[in-house]
Structure 1
Amino acid sequence: MPNDKNNKTELPRNPELTPPCGPVKGQYRKGISSYKGIPYAMPPLRERRFKAPEPMPPWEYLRDCLKPGHTALQMGGILVDSPGTYQMEGKSEDCLFLNVWTPATNPEERYPVYVFIHGGAFATGSGTEMMYDGTRMAQEGVVVVTINYRLGALGFLATHGLYEEAGTTGNYGLLDQIQALRWVQENIEAFGGDPEQVTLGGESAGAFSVTGLMLSPLAKGLFHQAIVESGSIFSIASFAPHNRGDLEKSMTNGQLLCETFGTRDTTEDLYKLRRIPGDVLAAVSMVKSDQSVTPKAFCFWPVYDGVVLPKDPVKALAQAEINPVKLLLGYNTNESSLFIKGHTNLGIYKMLCIEIFGPEKATAVMEHFPVDDDHTPLERMLEIYTHSAFVVGMVMMAKKYASLGEDVFFYNFDYDPAILKIVGLNTAHAMELPFIFGNGIGQHRATKISNLSWIMQSSWVNFIKTGNPNFKEEYKGQVLWPKFDPEKKDIMVFDTHLSNKALPYQEDLAFLEKIMFGNEESV
């Protein structure tokens, strides 16, 4: 059992542990030990490129884990798109590292574990960004793990040659995440974590990943609860309209990449594919935040390959072919203001509707969400993109899991600071992350922002610890977070004043669910 916070044993500045993976040296600060840059798999280089990760053999020497390992090769950015995101410093194809923050000070302690998967459109980001620093959350009594995984073409390229070689293709990044979860099962006890109490969480592409692993038999038993922030595996078409997760379309996309580099899409030419410079593959995988342009043909996202994702996720969910877990999930009110920009006009609106829904269904969507005197193309596109790219799939997941008897808690992050309004973002995608991790926000509950951060982080920690986000002790302004019911659909609203309400826009969500997935039942 965890020790009392006030009676913690002080550790040396650089504590050492000997987990099964090999001895590691970390850093002790503010009551938390951190171990950064721990390799959880062999470097996916040369002949290991475009293959499932191989476990790292145990090492015998003491490994310094004071600094993060390389981030995955990438160019551009979703949250930050600046000149600095296009350089290669600190990035490498050798990127399969994870980081651990733990409050444990003796080998007997056992804390619940939170494994977090970062977002970034499966093309950018890392588990070492300052926003995801696990110190504050670990101080509340959980072991926090963040991971890197392969991105872009290096993580999600699907080709006929690769499929013939391995019987699967296109999900190397998801396989990395599964290998990291296996590492947690094998090693986390040495860090004071409980392998029987693992919550898997993620935001954006991380949420797509978590929901994908909730449907993957390869991840069964590797986690016991899930936190899904802003996204689901069902909405791939909103970001990768040219392949939509379909295996054949994804392999055709991969064949086009092979031809671009003068390589045949065959097993015989795989050695050529594995010798294309990694930074070049990162360049063709480049993404930016603005979706108000025609997406590139090269959209590297997870693939329904028959192995990692055995079937179309919509069918898997409908047939209850899932990994049962308690679930906390939700969305930000203005998710799409990060992606859909102010220059959206009627032509861009129509183009995006055609790309997301297909030419036959786009007409019905535009009739349901008409551009008129009361609704500009920008307003309609923001509305449609938030619903289709983020909310619809999460509601589908919440309904199914709740109907199967799992505890489900649904939220809406609705805090809208003035500074975001000035730059046109409102309560945009990813804006909840600083509140949950507690980084970059005051910690003393002295302001509305810091108090909201305390409430949200505590709610997440409560769920990680007990499967229920509600507080046992009362506090000022407390509101009960109800379980999600498939009929009532009550959700928790996080703003400077907490509230409950029924899920909004149910008619629009039901319409889009039917258009996108052919589901007749109402949201």
Structure 2
Amino acid sequence: MKKRMVVLMASAAMMMLSGMTVSASENLDNVVDTSYGKVQGINSTDEGYENVVQFKGVPYAAPPVGDLRWKAPVDHEKWDDILVCDTNREMPMQELGFVEPSGTDFHNNTAPEMSEDCLYLNISTTEENLTGDEKKPVYVWFHGGGLTVGHTYSAEGNLDAFAENDVIAVSVEQRLGVFGYLSLPQLSEEQGQSGNYGLMDQIKALEWIKENIANFGGDPENITVGGQSGGTMKAMSMIASPQMDVDVDKLILESGLKYVGAFQSQEDAEKNGTAYLEDLGLSADISMEELRAMDGEELLKSASEHYPGSMNQDDLYIAYPSIQEAINEGVFDDVSILSGTNMGEAKYLATATADDFYAEYKEQLGDLYDKYDFENLLKITDKTAMVTSRQLGTLGFGTQDSRNLMVNRLYGKLMAERTDGKAKNYTYLFSQITPESITEIGTDRSAAEQWAWHSSEQFYAFNSMRDGVPASRNWRDWDYELAEKMNQYWVNFITNGDPNGEGLAQWPEADENMGYIDFGAGITVHSEPLAPLEELMGEFTQQYFQFPTQEQE
């Protein structure tokens, strides 16, 4: 996206604050008061979105550098003049690798500059909402990339369509990898526990948003948190944290619902951190003074099997051994969730022949294989074995909780029964294939290889596709139409907890009927009684992921 050049008529000398431009200016367009000082945004230059005002790189905490490395975030120093927020900040420290198709589509295989000074967020609103009295719903987004890579301003994460639809949209950077999740005995001795600094950043960001978002047109009492892939772990862990004191009653989880979500113990996290120091060639008992004095890039070695990138149960920020335990304890009973997965992104049994298919599924399904007469339930040939197994991995036989559609459907049923319908859940399957060029056939970007590839739904949910963005995709009429519809579903859910609205196919709740919607070559609604194969998938998923039965609830 082109960046608009903003001319500031300065009446005082420019000064630099933590690498940010602050000026006393006669231009007061798009200026907003925050708890740290005034910030100024710029209008979008995207065609049709010129009314959207973007605030890029708004600080929500002090730079976590020097003595603040591996400490809880603290307030930023205040400034007197206007902080001009017209430029994306450096991404958090990481070793950002590229895999296709996202390497080209999201990043153009180019990594931005990086810095430990990374505690910033981006806000998209509109001119009307900056000045109006009616406060609009707020959507806070956390990017994917596990807990080790990623940033907020790649192409798919454009917030403008949300803003144009009267949602105040916010994306948040936080510490990642070794800077966000290193745990060591030395740190625990210093602080009482260690690790989870990235999670601390997230909570600090939500506190800043709660305090300041009304000045951007947002309703601090109507905040939805969302994320994709690793971002869903960030979102769910925030809700489960005892330190989270900002009310959030809606989540959007794209690939997906981390139903199991096990955390390391503090002891295991410290052992892993110590092993990582040794991988770096450092002494296990190096002092924190020495570690904090090291150059940040010297601490990056993401190829190490001990590279920090997981939260741990520190009994302060993480009190449960898993997300599942928090769910069982009722932590999510007041939270409505929109969640789903993409066709073909799940783990599946790689079965090259029909014989392999039946043998592998007989082992995986155990007693359920004969109970459901699997060999007659599914008629497979050598030609169809692999593709059918990949479909089944997504639909209900996958062993990764966040990429198994049936996990989302069963969770909806569980919560509908437990909360008597108070917590509403909506499940989607994304099966749309992004457009393919002739030169991609036979490559790792091909439709035959990728299907509805992991994270591709973001172009549609954000309605962030543009003509020539990304340059690698020639979007079709249906892509644009589907993006508008999906974004409207998301906006409706963010607004009032129900994705349905005028002009949209009725999205059924994932309640006792376990309904869902399929976004693909068309939009298909599923609320019919379960087919025998779905019943088998439901029973397998319930057993494998240890969903409670009605007797256990």
Alignment of 1:295-306 (within 5 A): 296-298=305-307, 300-306=309-315
For residue 256 of structure 1, the aligned residue among 275, 280, 303 is: 275
Distance, in Å, in 1 between the alignment partners of 2:327 and 2:482 is 34
Distance, in Å, in 1 between the alignment partners of 2:51 and 2:349 is 43
Alignment of 1:267-416 (within 5 A): 269-282=287-300, 284-285=301-302, 296-298=305-307, 300-312=309-321, 313-322=323-332, 324-336=334-346, 375-376=385-386, 379=389, 387-391=400-404, 394-395=408-409, 397-402=411-416, 403-404=418-419, 405-416=422-433
SS in 2 for 1:412: strand
| Deviations 1:488-522 (CA, angstroms, capped at 9, x unpaired) | 11111112322222588553454355345485679
**Counterpart position of 1:7:** none
Aligned pairs, number: 473
Is 1:498 the counterpart of 2:528 in the alignment?
A: no
* Most deviating of 433-442 and 462-471: 433-442
Change (3 A) 1:256 1:518: farther
Change (3 A) 1:193 1:247: same
Distance, in Å, in 2 between the alignment partners of 1:257 and 1:168 is 18
Change (3 A) 1:514 1:382: closer
Is 1:161 the counterpart of 2:161 in the alignment?
A: no
Distance, in Å, in 2 between the alignment partners of 1:510 and 1:32 is 47
Counterpart of 2:116 in structure 1: which amino acid?
A: E
Kept in 2: contact 1:441–1:449 (CA 8 A): no
Distance, in Å, in 1 between the alignment partners of 2:536 and 2:295 is 49
**Counterpart position of 1:8:** none
Distance, in Å, in 2 between the alignment partners of 1:468 and 1:119 is 24
For residue 93 of structure 1, the aligned residue among 116, 128, 137 is: 116
Distance, in Å, in 1 between the alignment partners of 2:308 and 2:38 is 40
For residue 536 of structure 2, the aligned residue among 481, 497, 507 is: 507
The TM-score, its normalising length taken from structure 2, stands at 0.76
Change (3 A) 1:483 1:519: closer
Distance, in Å, in 1 between the alignment partners of 2:75 and 2:408 is 32
Distance, in Å, in 2 between the alignment partners of 1:452 and 1:59 is 44
Distance, in Å, in 1 between the alignment partners of 2:292 and 2:407 is 35
Change (3 A) 1:88 1:134: closer
**Counterpart position of 1:3:** none
SS in 2 for 1:113: strand
Kept in 2: contact 1:182–1:222 (CA 8 A): no
SS in 2 for 1:63: strand
Is 1:456 the counterpart of 2:486 in the alignment?
A: yes
Kept in 1: contact 2:32–2:38 (CA 8 A): yes
SS in 2 for 1:72: coil
For residue 15 of structure 1, the aligned residue among 30, 33, 39 is: 30
Distance, in Å, in 2 between the alignment partners of 1:328 and 1:224 is 11
For residue 481 of structure 1, the aligned residue among 507, 513, 519 is: 507
Identity, in percent, stands at 26
Distance, in Å, in 2 between the alignment partners of 1:280 and 1:488 is 53
For residue 424 of structure 1, the aligned residue among 449, 474, 480 is: 449
| Deviations 1:381-433 (CA, angstroms, capped at 9, x unpaired) | 96565744533654565344433221211111121346265351001211110
Kept in 1: contact 2:144–2:150 (CA 8 A): yes
Change (3 A) 1:184 1:483: same
| Deviations 1:337-377 (CA, angstroms, capped at 9, x unpaired) | 8xx999x999xx9xxx9xxxxxxxx9757998999956459
**Counterpart position of 1:139:** 164
Counterpart of 1:271 in structure 2: which amino acid?
A: E
Kept in 1: contact 2:121–2:173 (CA 8 A): yes
For residue 458 of structure 2, the aligned residue among 406, 427, 433 is: 433
Kept in 1: contact 2:118–2:173 (CA 8 A): yes
The TM-score, its normalising length taken from structure 1, stands at 0.80
Can you give the 5+ residue segments of structure 2 that lack an aligned partner in the other structure? 1-26, 45-49, 375-379, 437-444, 470-474
The offset of 1:117, in angstroms, is 0.6
Change (3 A) 1:112 1:389: closer
SS in 2 for 1:469: coil
Distance, in Å, in 1 between the alignment partners of 2:311 and 2:509 is 30
Change (3 A) 1:412 1:364: closer
Kept in 1: contact 2:162–2:491 (CA 8 A): yes
Kept in 1: contact 2:255–2:403 (CA 8 A): yes
Counterpart of 1:451 in structure 2: which amino acid?
A: E
Is 1:27 the counterpart of 2:42 in the alignment?
A: yes
Can you give the 5+ residue segments of structure 1 that lack an aligned partner in the other structure? 1-11, 238-243, 287-294, 354-361
Change (3 A) 1:157 1:230: same
Change (3 A) 1:81 1:393: same
Distance, in Å, in 1 between the alignment partners of 2:543 and 2:267 is 24
For residue 49 of structure 1, the aligned residue among 69, 81, 106 is: 69
Distance, in Å, in 2 between the alignment partners of 1:400 and 1:265 is 46
Distance, in Å, in 1 between the alignment partners of 2:409 and 2:290 is 43
Radius of gyration: which is bigger?
2
Kept in 1: contact 2:333–2:415 (CA 8 A): no
Distance, in Å, in 2 between the alignment partners of 1:416 and 1:41 is 40
Change (3 A) 1:81 1:142: closer
Counterpart of 1:92 in structure 2: which amino acid?
A: S
SS in 2 for 1:468: coil
| Deviations 1:464-486 (CA, angstroms, capped at 9, x unpaired) | 11211101x3x3xx42111221x
* Most deviating of 362-371 and 114-123: 362-371
RMSD: 3.7
For residue 207 of structure 1, the aligned residue among 211, 225, 232 is: 232
Change (3 A) 1:190 1:234: same
SS in 2 for 1:492: strand
Kept in 2: contact 1:482–1:490 (CA 8 A): yes
**Counterpart position of 2:22:** none
Distance, in Å, in 2 between the alignment partners of 1:509 and 1:168 is 39
Distance, in Å, in 1 between the alignment partners of 2:119 and 2:535 is 41
Kept in 1: contact 2:257–2:339 (CA 8 A): no
Counterpart of 2:509 in structure 1: which amino acid?
A: K
Kept in 2: contact 1:53–1:175 (CA 8 A): yes
Distance, in Å, in 2 between the alignment partners of 1:309 and 1:396 is 25
Distance, in Å, in 1 between the alignment partners of 2:214 and 2:243 is 22
SS in 2 for 1:52: coil
* Most deviating of 487-496 and 35-44: 487-496
The offset of 1:247, in angstroms, is 3.1
**Counterpart position of 2:241:** 216
Counterpart of 1:507 in structure 2: which amino acid?
A: L
Counterpart of 1:259 in structure 2: which amino acid?
A: E
Change (3 A) 1:55 1:85: farther
